[in-house]
Amino acid sequence: MGMDFATFMGLLSAQLRIRAALVVVIMWLAVAISSAAWAQTLTVALYPYVPRPAQFEAAIRTAWTQVQPNVKLNFINDVKIWDGGYDTDPPPQADIYVFDAMYFEDYRARGLLVAMAPSEIQNSGDFLPYAREAVIVNGNYYAIPQLGCANILFYNANDAAVAGATTVTQLASALNQCTYTSEIPPDRRGLMVDMDGKTTNATLYLDIGHSVNGTYPLPQPGVPDPAFIADQQLMLRLASYWDATSKNPADYVRGVWFNQGFGRAYMGFTESMSVMSPGTLATIGFKVMPLSNTTGHQALFYVDAIGVNTTTVGRGTRNLAVQLGNVIAASDTIVASFRSPQSGTNPQYLMSVRTSAFQQLSQSYPIYQRMFQLAQSSNPVAFKLNAAGRSWVQSLGPAIRQSVMKNYSCGCDETSPRPISDNAAAQNICPSVCSAFGGWNGQWTNRPPAPGSVCGCNVCPIK
Fold match between domain 41-147+303-337 and domain 152-298: yes
- Dist. CA 425–CA 458, nearest whole Å: 19
Instruction: Give pTM, 2 decimals.
Output: 0.90
Scanning 92-222, the segments in alpha helix (DSSP H) are: 104-109, 129-134, 160-164, 168-175, 198-213
**H/E element, 243:** helix 241-244
* Superfamily (CATH) of domain 41-147+303-337: Periplasmic binding protein-like II (3.40.190.10)
- Dist. CA 450–CA 256, nearest whole Å: 16
- DSSP E strands in 329-439: the ranges are 351-352, 381-382, 412-415
Query: Do 148 and 302 form a contact (C-beta atoms < 8 A)?
Result: yes
pLDDT of residue 37: 40
Which of the four CATH numbers 3.30.1490, 2.60.40, 3.30.230, 1.10.3470 does domain 412-457 have?
3.30.1490
Report the number of secondary-structure helices (H) and strands (E) in the chain. 18, 16
We find that the CATH architecture of domain 152-298 is 3-Layer(aba) Sandwich (3.40)
Domain borders along the chain are 41-147+303-337, 152-298, 412-457
Query: Do 303 and 130 form a contact (C-beta atoms < 8 A)?
Result: yes
Q: Report how far apart, in Å, the C-alpha atoms of 164 and of each of 134, 167, 173, 260 are.
A: 31, 9, 11, 24
pLDDT of residue 251: 87
Walking along the chain (463 residues) 10 residues at a time, the average pLDDT comes out as: 51 51 42 45 98 98 98 97 97 98 98 98 98 98 98 98 98 98 97 96 98 96 96 98 93 96 98 98 98 96 98 98 98 98 94 98 98 96 97 96 95 97 97 97 95 96 87
pLDDT of residue 249: 87
Q: Report how far apart, in Å, the C-alpha atoms of 410 and of each of 2, 16, 176, 331, 407 are.
A: 115, 93, 12, 47, 9
